[in-house]
Structure 1
Amino acid sequence: MTFPQPSAVQRRQANKAVVATVIGNGLEWFDFTVYSFFSVIIAKVFFPSANELTSYLLALATFGVGFFMRPVGGILLGIYSDRRGRKAALSLTILLMAAGTLIIAVTPGYAQWGLFAPALIVFARLLQGFSAGGEMGSATAFLTEHAPAGQKAYYSSWIQASIGVAVALGAGAGALLSALLTPEQLESWGWRLPFLFGSLIGPVGFYIRSRIDETPAYASVERAQSPLREVVRIYPRQTAITFSMVVLWTVCTYSVLFYLPSYSTRVLGLPSGLGFTAGVLGGLVLLVATPLVGRLADRHGKRPWLLGSAVAIFCAAWPLFWMLNRWPGLPSLLVFQAVLGLLISGYLGGLLAAFGELLPTRVLSTGLSVAYNFAVTLFGGFATFTVTWLIAATGSPLAPAFYIMFAAAISAGGAALFRDATSGQPSGESA
């Protein structure tokens, strides 16, 4: 199908939307990455226990508890986005995330404030979860609606690339602090520095997002009076397919990209700096490769990339984890991140554009928020907790591989049901 070439003004607006989304979404995800990367230290500061595993699991559970608020935030902020606009929703989410990050950065430890300290951390995670719940749906709607016709996968892939920015920045901060500070300094105050940096997303991100235009598609479409009801009653099949395809995305993000530094330290017994260094590579691979796949998905279709990558991840997960445990060290960590990062990029490049074909503009933010956040809550939020528990329960360091294979099987089923749009109209509207 031939699409009209966008005007210079349209292309300029789309590029501004990419910049605003990557900076805001990347910095927002940065806050999630640093909590995951520094979870071992956070466990000691806020959840001291005679049993190290219990302390670590409590910290991971607190990381996961924020995901209980994701469906709530996703529904409420998704409805807000479909009613009031993408720009308003994105500006609000970034302020809420900054507030939660600042609370984590300045809260004294358990030794100073007792039970009040972990309670504040839980509150901060709930606030971050509520914010993140509305971010992905609004950001996806914002970029796909700004994208020129025939380039939606490429433009929306920059949302995924921004996660690569977050992973690279978070891992880079961990590697730098591990190199410059002693373990005592890192546990005492050094771990707080990335959170203080992350709290800057409030004024910076709000300024950037407040200066961008509303999407033309949203401005011209009739508002849905009850977006949630419309999603549930008219688009249940599309929402279910979206849910299934999110599963692999969220499991790979939380049990691979975010978890590997902790895995390399706790399971492989390697210095923390090695895991952080490999994490930088994983983030950079995601940043570079995802938009390239998005460009190819626009030309040749999204379904082959989604289905092929899901099958490839299923096949590669066990051998990659076996390699890590057979030859633990920086070379194997780098190979692991490079190979799995490329496969994840292959899956993510056209994913968000596929969602835009499943659901129409009037309910896109709400529908995606519902599917995305329930999938993230069930499969992603407690992924690190689950694989840590599985390793302890089974005694096998390869347990994360089986969790990833399980997720890949579910998402491969969803990708098999998806069909690329054959017209300029989203498949959700013609269903």
Structure 2
Amino acid sequence: MSEATANDFASLDAGQLAALRRRAILSCAIGNFFELFDFTIYGYFAVAITRAFYPSGSMYGTYAAFGAAFLMRPVGAIVLGAYGDRMGRRAALVITIGLMAGATGAVGLIPTYRAIGYWAPILLVLCRLLQGFSTGGEWGGAAAFLVEYAPPGKRGLTGSWQQFSTQIGAVTGSVSAALLASSLSEAAFYAWGWRIPFLCGFLLGPIGYYLRNKVAETPAFERAVETRTVEHAPLRVAMREYGTRMIQAFGLSIIGCIANFIFVVYLVSYAINTMHLPSSAAFSCAVASGLVVVVLTPFVGALTDRVGRRPLILACALLNLVFDYPLFLLAIRGNTFKSLLIALICNAVFQALYTGTIPSILAEMFPTRVRYTALSVSYGFAVVLFGGFAPLISTWLVDVTGNPFAPAFYVMTGGALSAIAIISMKEYRDAPLE
């Protein structure tokens, strides 16, 4: 991170700069894939984890541990975000992937409750906390990294590769769950089969670590170093100078977090536990839903470069507000593989409007000197308050009200809050990154 390094970018011809961008985007995307595969597989194996670590069989413990990881996301966002704004995006992203790989492998090795008693759920929660800390620094860093490497006029498309790769990681997690559930006996799946993806996540982590360690720092951050505009207290500066934008960023992030975790995690587990759909069928619906998001995300990202970020992410909020209750009715009253599949795919289309837009819109709202911290903290608090505990809150809402459709109203509330935040802000598509 020196003046010579910063000047090197200006000396590259168009072909060399394009090749540098491709390497940077690929390394970041592969790292995103590993990171989110490791983090999300917990949700897909929630039923198996409950049987292994919580003898009562209640999903409350599993979902509480799931949510506990999200409590650490704002902490990771603050600590790693500040590190990334001071020392560079690449340096922070190298740390996050190492932390995630270690914590994920440990989950796959923890003995069951029958073997070590209460130490089993305690160790599980500790691993989830470490995963959450890592992901809190990963999300914002990857978004900032990609948008800062984007060529002119393509920040939406380039930024969307962050969510494209993370969605592939999530889909791979659901594929692994579906394959293991269909190829193993039920006894083998719940005894040891669910541990395989966690161990694979640990083994794949070093690949992402190596690729990230080899990529150059972003030109935008190198310019900040060269011009001596790096902030030593980025969170304090961000809150003082861009507090309103952080509130708006928090608000617009809500709908994607809440809809994803309720439809893909809670509703799939509900289909297995309460609707008594076969595990392989329910996981297959999650795979199909994820594939829809993967395919549509880059197209939405490219579209935002033409029409702006606000119209598409506002459409996501309003569609969830209007259609989530009918989709819950369809999935639960239908009580079939087909009804669940249609509900998840419809919501996946709404979700793609979010995933194709969220990296670029958040990165463009803040200048380079506080970008990593500001967008990480804004998004991190949205995830912890409206995403990580969404399955637990949904389970509680159903128990308290006796209404299986109560979680739909929770998602609709998120849609309304996000719509208000989006309407209150301006369009940043053509704003300079500096």
Q: Tell me what 2:203 maps to.
A: 200
Structure 1 equivalent of residue 5 of structure 2:
none
Q: Does 1:235 align with 2:242?
A: yes
Structure 1 counterpart of 2:191, from 163, 167, 188: 188
For structure 1, the 5+ residue unaligned runs are 1-5
2:328 and 2:408 in contact (8 A); partners too:
yes
Distance in 2, Cα, partners of 1:417 & 1:77: 29
Give, in angstroms, the shift of residue 21 of structure 1: 2.2
Cα shift at 1:261: 2.3
State whether residues 308 and 429 of structure 2, in contact with CA within 8 Å, keep that contact through their aligned partners in structure 1: no
C-alpha spacing 1:422/1:39, structure 2 compared with 1 (3 Å): closer
Which residue in 2 is equivalent to 1:3? none
Partner of 1:372: 379
Give 1:102 deviation, angstroms: 1.0
Q: How does 1:26-425 map to 2 (within 5 A)?
A: 26-49=33-56, 52=57, 55-221=58-224, 222-421=229-428, 423-425=430-432
Contact 1:65–1:122 (Cα < 8 Å) also in 2: yes
Q: CA deviation at 1:24?
A: 1.2
**What letter corresponds to residue 95 of structure 2 in structure 1?**
L
Q: Cα–Cα, structure 1 residues 315 and 351, in superposed 2: closer, same or farther, change >3 Å?
A: same
1:69 partner SS: helix
**Following the alignment from structure 1 to structure 2, what is the Cα–Cα distance between the partners of residues 258 and 142?**
28
Give the deviation of 1:18 after TM superposition. 2.4
Stretches of structure 2 lacking an aligned partner (at least 5 in a row) = 1-12
Distance in 2 (CA, whole Å) between partners of 1:336 and 1:373 is: 27
Distance change >3 Å, CA 257–CA 10, structure 1 → 2: farther
Contact 2:84 2:141 in 1 (8 A): yes
Superimposed CA distance per residue, residues 50-86 of structure 1 (whole angstroms, 9 cap, x where no aligned partner) = xx3xx31011101111111111111000000001111
* Displacement of 1:420: 1.6
| 1:74–1:366 contact (8 Å) kept in structure 2 | yes
Between the aligned partners of 1:277 and 1:131, the Cα distance in structure 2 is 28
Does the 8 Å CA contact 2:332/2:340 hold for their aligned counterparts? no
Q: Is the 8 A contact 1:278 1:330 kept in 2?
A: yes
CA shift, 1:16, in A, is 2.1
Aligned AA for 1:109?
T
Greater mean alpha carbon deviation, residues 312-321 or residues 332-341? 332-341
CA distance in 2, matches of 1:392, 1:169: 32
CA RMSD of aligned residues (A): 1.4
For the residue of structure 2 that corresponds to 1:269, the secondary structure is coil
What is the Cα deviation at residue 391 of structure 1? Answer: 1.4
**1:210: how far off?**
0.9
Q: Which is further off, 104-113 or 25-34?
A: 25-34
Superposition deviation, residue 423 in structure 1: 4.4
1:30 Cα offset (Å): 1.2
Offset of residue 140 of structure 1: 0.8
What one-letter code is carried by the residue in structure 2 that aligns with 1:156? Answer: G
SS in 1 for 2:192: helix
Q: 1:422 to 1:384 in 2, by over 3 A?
A: closer
Shift of 1:381: 1.2
Asked whether the 8 Å contact 1:282–1:337 carries over to 2, the reply is yes
Residue 326 of structure 1, CA deviation:
2.4
Partner of 2:10: none
- Residue 3 of structure 2 is matched in structure 1 by none
Offset of residue 395 of structure 1: 1.6
Q: Provide the secondary structure at the position in 1 that maps to 2:428.
A: coil
Alpha carbons of 1:7 and 1:252: their partners in 2 closer, same or farther (altered >3 Å)? Answer: farther
Query: Aligned-pair distance for 1:424?
Result: 4.0
The one-character-per-residue Cα deviations of 1:309-339 (angstroms, maximum 9, x if unpaired) are 2111211101111111222222222212221
How far residue 202 of structure 1 moved from its aligned partner, in angstroms, is 2.4
Alpha-carbon distance in 1 for matches of 2:423, 2:74: 26
TM-score, L = length of structure 1: 0.94
CA distance in 2, matches of 1:358, 1:401: 30
In the superposition, the TM-score normalised over structure 2's length comes to 0.93
CA distance in 2, matches of 1:254, 1:32: 13
Amino acid at match of 2:307: H
For residues 168 and 312 of structure 2, the distance between their equivalents in structure 1, rounded to whole angstroms, comes to 22
- Matched residue type, 1:285: V
1:9 to partner: Cα distance: 2.5
Give 3-state SS (helix, strand or coil) of 1:315's partner. Answer: helix
Identity across the alignment (%): 41
